[in-house]
Structure 1
Amino acid sequence: MEREELIKKWLDHNLNSEEQKAFEELDDYADLLKLSKSLEDFKSPDYSIDYEYDNVKSRLKPKASNNWVRPLLKIAAVLLISFSIFYYNSTLDTEVKTLVAEDITISLPDASTVNLNAQSTIVYNKNSWTDKREVSLDGEAFFSVAEGSKFDVITSDGKISVLGTQFNVIQRLNYFEVTCFEGLVAVNYKSKSLKLNPGNRFVVIDGIIKNEKENRTQPSWLSNETSFASAPLKYVLDELERQYDISVDASKLDGQQLFSGSFTHDNLDLALKSITLPLGITYTKSNSVIVLNGE
């Protein structure tokens, strides 16, 4: 039996045991199954090959013989369905998420890499990557971009554009930060547009814009610690919760008081002391809840 006929009967769920065996021996059997699985949640209108054939046939002028038309239309229907499957899969985005206290490294289609910090999400499209290098980010990520066409990082606060460079982006609630470590980074924030050279950082906290310097060659969180420079305590504690999967009760403190320093990601007691001692804060632990108190 011809390949197209086997595929058509498979699509119609009409293979007998002998035909099923022949179908499984096709070179692209695994690919066809993969395509079928990806469409399990894809709802398409009911389609009847025989109905569509009769519909087309009724509009044709009678001829001496058109027995060849029916199989041709059925093959066309198979090709149409195959094209629909291909088109649907080509428009799918790849989404990668990290959990609390988790960070991972992702390789993009052009050999660029993304280090994704805890509780962060990136979305990109593999199939359109050659034409448009674009990543959507919610959270924090460090990008090492291979040279090539323009590379865009889209966040809810602004867009970052580069050609080939290394930079870190943080986009959290009311907190937006871009740090350039190598190359040149263009940042578009609302109506403001600027370029960052290595060692420069653009920060927006609660709507307040700051320009800072960075002496490190990569973000501190890649070395299992998080650093801050005059950051409101509430954002420091938010990051502590992300890295340790804990809950911090700081209701008795001023969340706007500023903190400069760092905390480790692999020792909770040491991390708490690194934050509380410089600010004169005490704390108690109850299961996974940390209660902070002013002295």
Structure 2
Amino acid sequence: MKNPYSDETFLARWLNNDLNDRERTEFEKSDDYQKYITILNKIEKLESPDYNKKKVFNIIRSEIQEKSKVRTFIPKWTYGIAATLLVLIGFFFFFDNSTSYSTDYGEQISFKLLDGSEVVLNSKSELKFKKSNWNNDRKVKLVGEAFFKVKKGSDFVVETESGRVKVLGTQFNVNTQKDFFEVTCVEGKVKAMDNYASNEAILTKGKAFRIANNIVENWETETAEPGWISGETTFTNTPLKQVIHSLENQFNLTFDKKNIDQNMRFTGSYNHTDIKLALKTIFVPMEISYTFNNENHIVLVKE
């Protein structure tokens, strides 16, 4: 049977996004296409520190060029390429040796890390860490919000998209989203900073630090565990955008926000048990009307 692809380097050119429109269209209609997409999607999710996409691509391309010389009814090089990709996936999963925890809407989970440090993860959040070399490099990656009770020992680092926290045995809360980074120290001492180390602060008990839309803020707060752990989320002069994001994560909601100013600030709290009371508590004082467009979509309008 004729090779279904135009030349021996077809898959290499596809991986490098060099196909012409006709080749791309025909390939996307083939049975093989979705198989390769699935494999590559798995590779994209790997986070091994030794993972080098360019190196992997070169290995795959080399295999393609070598194995594509054999053609049968089901081309042998197809199996060779797939096998190469699967071996690479297995290799990186083996050495990645990572663990992750995540939560759904309105969900919280608590767990212990390898050194006995405790973490409580808030709704729609994720935490990842590497098991390998943990004793020498205690580092976790956080998306969302979490409360940490860190055991004393070597340095402990929390990395996020918008900033980092470095501690040495303490209790603290981290809330992070795109363009938002907030740290509150409950016990001990922490160092909070953006990812460029251009803004940083040493926080002790009752101190808080925030970077929101490139604005740096420091303030004092209560020293107890964050209220969200016991079912009540509290805000201190927080941009409304972050308050709405919290409501979305807690109650599985979406909001039409185009008719309000999301930079407005809110101070107060809402309870997790009653969605209507939560909306009233936040939006009535801010003179914002809210209307359910359907069960999970709300339209906001400034009065």
Q: For the superposition of Structure 1 and Structure 2, which TM-score range results when normalised by the shorter chain? A: 0.5 to 0.7
The match for 1:248 is: 255
C-alpha distance in structure 1 between counterparts of 2:273 and 2:92, whole Å = 45
Partner SS state of residue 105, structure 1: strand
User: Which range moved further: 277-286 or 243-252?
Assistant: 277-286
Counterpart among 199, 202, 224 of residue 206 in structure 2? 199
Counterpart among 107, 111, 117 of residue 106 in structure 1? 111
Partner SS state of residue 130, structure 1: coil
Partner SS state of residue 191, structure 2: strand
Alpha-carbon shift at residue 284 of structure 1 (Å): 1.9
C-alpha distance in structure 2 between counterparts of 1:112 and 1:86, whole Å = 29
C-alpha distance in structure 1 between counterparts of 2:117 and 2:146, whole Å = 13
Deviations 1:238-258 (Å, cap 9, x if unpaired)? 110110001122322222222
The match for 2:121 is: 116
C-alpha distance in structure 1 between counterparts of 2:209 and 2:101, whole Å = 26
Question: Which segments of 5 or more consecutive residues in structure 1 lack a partner in the other structure?
Answer: 1-40, 46-84
Structure 1 residue 234 corresponds to structure 2 residue 227: no
Counterpart among 261, 278, 296 of residue 271 in structure 1? 278
Change (3 A) 1:192 1:282: closer
Structure 1 residue 167 corresponds to structure 2 residue 172: yes
C-alpha distance in structure 2 between counterparts of 1:181 and 1:206, whole Å = 25
Which letter does structure 1 place at the counterpart of 2:168?
L
Alpha-carbon shift at residue 91 of structure 1 (Å): 3.5
Deviations 1:99-147 (Å, cap 9, x if unpaired)? 2222211210111011111111111122321221111111111100011
C-alpha distance in structure 2 between counterparts of 1:87 and 1:251, whole Å = 43
Partner SS state of residue 157, structure 1: coil
The match for 2:145 is: 140
C-alpha distance in structure 1 between counterparts of 2:302 and 2:207, whole Å = 34
Change (3 A) 1:86 1:242: closer
- TM-score, length basis structure 2: 0.66
The match for 2:302 is: 294
Structure 1 residue 127 corresponds to structure 2 residue 132: yes
Which is higher, the Rg of structure 1 or of structure 2?
1
User: Which range moved further: 226-235 or 195-204?
Assistant: 226-235
C-alpha distance in structure 1 between counterparts of 2:298 and 2:202, whole Å = 40
The match for 1:179 is: 184
Alpha-carbon shift at residue 86 of structure 1 (Å): 10
Alpha-carbon shift at residue 90 of structure 1 (Å): 5.2
- TM-score, length basis structure 1: 0.68
| Two-structure CA RMSD over aligned residues (Å) | 2.3
Deviations 1:169-213 (Å, cap 9, x if unpaired)? 111011101110000101232223331101000101100000011
Say whether the 8 Å CA contact 2:185–2:223 is kept in structure 1: no
Which letter does structure 2 place at the counterpart of 1:279?
M
Which letter does structure 2 place at the counterpart of 1:228?
F
Alpha-carbon shift at residue 88 of structure 1 (Å): 6.3
C-alpha distance in structure 2 between counterparts of 1:254 and 1:129, whole Å = 44
Structure-to-structure mapping, 1:30-69, within 5 angstroms: none
Which letter does structure 1 place at the counterpart of 2:252?
D
Which letter does structure 2 place at the counterpart of 1:207?
N
Alpha-carbon shift at residue 216 of structure 1 (Å): 3.7
C-alpha distance in structure 2 between counterparts of 1:170 and 1:228, whole Å = 11
C-alpha distance in structure 2 between counterparts of 1:89 and 1:173, whole Å = 31
C-alpha distance in structure 2 between counterparts of 1:213 and 1:237, whole Å = 23
Deviations 1:246-284 (Å, cap 9, x if unpaired)? 112232222222211111111101101101121122222
Deviations 1:137-166 (Å, cap 9, x if unpaired)? 111111000111111111122221111100
Change (3 A) 1:129 1:266: same
Change (3 A) 1:230 1:86: closer
Say whether the 8 Å CA contact 2:201–2:209 is kept in structure 1: no
Which letter does structure 1 place at the counterpart of 2:279?
L
Structure 1 residue 152 corresponds to structure 2 residue 160: no
Say whether the 8 Å CA contact 2:121–2:147 is kept in structure 1: yes
